[in-house]
Chains A and B, each alone.
Chain A
């Protein structure tokens, strides 16, 4: 305790000019528990090393010991901003593996909740991205609309954040008339809300100074870095799983994939704003085209939860029998592997299964866009300033729950 009063900036031998800063994992702008090790010269970043794993929960290993139906709840905890989209992605993959049919109505319901999840995720992205750059009011405006959607989720499936809404072969609950009415009202009002956010930041000189030309990603570079989703489309690469490899009911719906040119932060911001409007259009079509019928496929009735959710699940109720059936009776388990990609708000979420016909995945791999986008941080973060790095973390739209799994 003798030498404590002198300020000592830790430096390694040989590079005394570098100021090393360990940003995170408990830092207000790293969106969870991302840690970035920085080497600074003044405020300019010489080198940047993202470190992940602070939220690792071992989902991929855990999935090997649980049945396909049980694994569904794990996917809620991946990208907790858009749990619905993860549910759909998981179910699409398992259904392809086990060859389960999905009813038409369930397909539309899945698209509907996917797009609602996209809106909640993009609204949260807008809120935090603007807050990172210093625009505080956008944060609260965006949360206002997000709250409406969260309430709708709660009304639809009883849960705001971890929805577990889909089931193998369909969805868990049907929509009520009230939910459709509320969604209809939301869809009507939402474009005006987008316009409201845009008045605050779209042509704001400071916002433009902080976003235009910062961290540009060319189309080639974006492909090299394996970027997907809005981060790639901002560079002008026309790739959207919904459009090019349609799943659920996306092939029956009419929507556009917005593309940027410059690939900088502003371009990606514009893409996500446009995507929100496109999601709104898709929601409008879902409301209009929603077909009648069952919410589960014909050959998967034993995979859904009991109709009365309040009923306690004891070993002799039908729910438990359903799970037992899943493990024992069903003869659809086949050997082989399958990879199915879906377009979640963050990018391309892929589930890769290897099945050995035991009723549980032999191996489940999740291709999570956030993990890959954080990998791009090292390239994009070189040579920019500390404030830009925060903006880049925001614009890549990463969530650590999905990155670390």
Chain B
């Protein structure tokens, strides 16, 4: 019985998250459209509201092309790895008090593990397509993941030290309910490092090198089509949401808000996540793209020292106050 309930919860969570993914693409296209003096999708439904559904149907019925020279098992597996790992990391996110599927005590580590695994999907996709652009995209992704996992992990060590836990619910609880007790202010350096690393981790502008359109055509997804392409797309958006959720939980006080919303406790959580997503989109509309070696330079020479400094300062703070 217990298992059935959990399964039901998983199905409901997946349905809700996938619907959000569909409408995040709509949100992105609308916001970026208005930032770029155009309207975004307008044709399907009122102001294009049914566009994500039309896109979903389209990619579902499109031909699934597998290149002749591709390494077939790996080619088929790569998008699945990306999507499954991203979906798995949803399990430990606390959407509201008690609204969490798996309240494990290493939640933060679990999410890091899963997002690292997702990059295997990208690397394998780049390798298995047996195309030169995808290969370069896969290589870039590999380098990017190595450079940005480290500052990202380090940037959250400060939060772990302050809250004394890796459990995401604990981290939210330790921040209390008021605006001034959230970890954004004591961990402002950590937040900066986390935010930059988060953009790189999710392959967003200005760090969208693995799929840099004007350089590598589409990077690692060049040879993919139809639903497999859509799976990469969904993985990227779920990745954005998971990273935004981590930011919300670790720095912005999770589901706590100025006043509780009756009947719908995750309101503030979702609002904060969409705030992050808006930032992602805003940055995409504004910034050019880094070059490969400049990306490495930023990661190793700026973010890692900053993250270490943050750990040092937090340690001093903990020792003396």
Contact = CB atoms under 8 A, between A and B. Distances in A.
Nearest to B216: A386
B35 A387 contact: no
B205 A134 contact: yes
Contacts of B217: 27-28
Contact of B285 (A5, A137, A207, A387): A137
A140 B215 contact: no
Contacts of B284: 136
B277 to A, nearest CB: 17
Given A43-B292, A135-B287, A140-B36, A5 B71 contact: yes
B260 interface: no
B253 to A, nearest CB: 31
Nearest to B287: A206
A133 B288 contact: yes
Interface in B118-140: 127-128, 130, 132-133, 135-136, 139-140
A29 interface: yes
A390 B292 CA distance: 13
Contact of A132 (B69, B132, B140, B214): B214
Interface in A162-197: none
Given A134-B206, A141-B37, A28 B289 contact: no
B215 A210 contact: no
Contact of A141 (B36, B69, B132): B36
Contact of A130 (B206, B212, B288, B291): B288
Contact of B290 (A19, A21, A132, A209): A209
B55 interface: no
A99 B109 CA distance: 82
- Residue picked from B32, B133, B286, most chain A C-beta under 10 Å: B286
A204 interface: yes
Contacts of B133: 21
Contacts of A200: 286
Contacts of A203: none
Contacts of A131: 214
Contacts of A19: 132
Contact of B291 (A4, A5, A141, A210): A210
Contact of A136 (B130, B215, B285, B290): B285
Given A43-B136, A144-B37, A386-B136, A134 B292 contact: no
Interface residues of B, number: 38
Contacts of B285: 136-137
B213 interface: yes
Q: Is the interface of B mostly helix, strand, loop or mixed?
A: helix
Nearest to A201: B288
B301 interface: no
Given A134-B205, A140-B36, A206-B206, A386 B290 contact: no
A21 B214 contact: no
Contacts of A22: 132
B318 interface: no
A308 interface: no
Contact of B292 (A135, A206, A387): A387
B68 A134 contact: no
A79 interface: no
A4 B68 contact: yes
Contact of B69 (A4, A130, A144, A201): A4
A7 B36 contact: no
A137 B286 contact: yes
- Residue picked from A6, A136, A200, A201, most chain B C-beta under 10 Å: A136
Contacts of B140: 43
A210 B288 contact: yes
Nearest to A1: B68
A150 interface: no
A79 B212 CA distance: 28
Interface in B261-288: 284-288
Interface string B132-150: 1101100110000000000
A385 B143 CA distance: 15
A385 B212 CA distance: 14
- Residue picked from A7, A27, A134, A135, most chain B C-beta under 10 Å: A134
Contacts of B212: 134, 387
A204 B291 contact: no
Given A21-B132, A140-B36, A141-B37, A206 B214 contact: no
- Residue picked from B72, B215, B290, most chain A C-beta under 10 Å: B215
Nearest to A134: B289
Interface in B185-228: 205-206, 208, 212-217
Contacts of B291: 209-210, 385, 387-388
Interface string A125-148: 000001111111101110010000
Interface of A: 4-9, 19, 21-22, 27-29, 42-43, 130-137, 139-141, 144, 200-201, 204, 206-207, 209-210, 385-388, 390
17 contacts: A5-B71, A130-B288, A133-B214, A134-B288, A135-B288, A137-B36, A140-B36, A141-B36, A201-B288, A204-B287, A206-B287, A206-B289, A210-B290, A386-B136, A386-B215, A386-B216, A386-B292
Q: List 8 tightest A-B contacts by C-beta distance, closest first.
A: A134-B289, A29-B214, A134-B288, A135-B288, A140-B36, A133-B288, A387-B291, A132-B214
